[in-house]
Amino acid sequence: MGRKNVVLAFINLLWFKSIMNERVLFVDDEESILKGIKLNLGRAFAVTVANGPYEAIEVINEQGHFPVVVSDMRMPKMDGATLLRTIKENNPETICILLTGHADFEFGGAEAVQSGMLYKILNKPCPPDRLKATIHAALKASKDDEEDEEKAPDFVL
């Protein structure tokens, strides 16, 4: 393995270790789904779960900002799209991902993705590897955006 490959492998390792510490909030009204998420994604991220939208708002108020929030669409009293819109209004930098078991596009899903309110809409059941890859991609895109914002424009000396 050449020196360049070793350096690239080390950089990738550091990036993945930084992602592993990222806090991700998962919201669902089914306890079994939340247990499965903790089991399957708990080693990849710092997972926090909320049983329903009102508990999610409470968790955010108590624990502060989460870089990523993943929510189920169909929940009693408040749907996932409404929850994520509320979170995004108060925390614009939060990456929001919606999971749906139905063709829930009556809430304007395509427009929500295009406007940046939602990063992605995933169908349920969603394989854990796909969900993990989507969260990794979202965090990487977010970090790339932050780095681009920190760089001075070319015309600044």
Tell me the DSSP string of 3-37: HHHHHHHHHHHHHHHHHHT-EEEEEES-HHHHHHH
In a domain, 101, yes or no: yes
- Residue 34: domain span: 22-144
In a domain, 109, yes or no: yes
Number of neighbouring beta carbons within 10 Å of residue 53 = 24
pLDDT confidence tier of residue 15, bands split at 50, 70 and 90: very low
Query: Cβ contacts of residue 31 below 8 Å, gap of 6+?
Result: 51
- Cα–Cα distance measured from residue 25 to residue 59, given in angstroms and rounded to the nearest whole number: 9
Q: Which of 85, 123, 92, 126 is nearest to 105 (CA)?
A: 123
**Tens digit of each residue's pLDDT (9 = 90 or more) over 79-138:** 898 999 999 999 999 999 999 876 555 555 556 565 667 899 898 889 999 999 999 999
**Tens digit of each residue's pLDDT (9 = 90 or more) over 64-92:** 999 999 999 989 999 898 999 999 999 99
In a domain, 30, yes or no: yes
Q: What is the share, in percent, of the chain residues with pLDDT greater than 90?
A: 54
CATH number at residue 120: 3.40.50.2300
pLDDT confidence tier of residue 157, bands split at 50, 70 and 90: very low
Domain count, the chain: 1
pTM, rounded to two decimals: 0.78
Q: Which of 13, 29, 17, 35 is nearest to 128 (CA)?
A: 35
Helix (H) or strand (E) run with residue 55 in it: helix 53-63
In a domain, 7, yes or no: no
In a domain, 13, yes or no: no
- Cα–Cα distance measured from residue 147 to residue 157, given in angstroms and rounded to the nearest whole number: 18
- Residue 64 region by backbone torsions, left for phi larger than 0, else alpha for psi between -120 and 50, else beta: left
